[in-house]
Amino acid sequence: MLEAMKMEHSLLAPRDGVVAEVLTEAGAQVEAGAALIRLADVDKAGGEAGE
């Protein structure tokens, strides 16, 4: 969830994946369009690719 102007907004990812890295701190102000997370690919078995 992302909070802006005291409202919560759901974010949608452009593809399936698992959160590999969070690129910002909780409570930080971010610019529009800023990357918030890095997604890792998920293989068809349900695990991270490369495991």
Domain extents for the chain? 14-51
pLDDT of 44:
55
User: Tokens standing for 6?
Assistant: 């005291």
Show the CA angle centred on residue 2, arms to residues 14 and 46, nearest 5°. 40
pLDDT of 2:
64
pLDDT of 20:
93
pLDDT of 22:
92
pLDDT digits (tens, 9 = 90+) for 1-51: 566 677 777 778 888 899 999 999 988 888 888 888 999 988 755 565 555
pLDDT of 49:
59
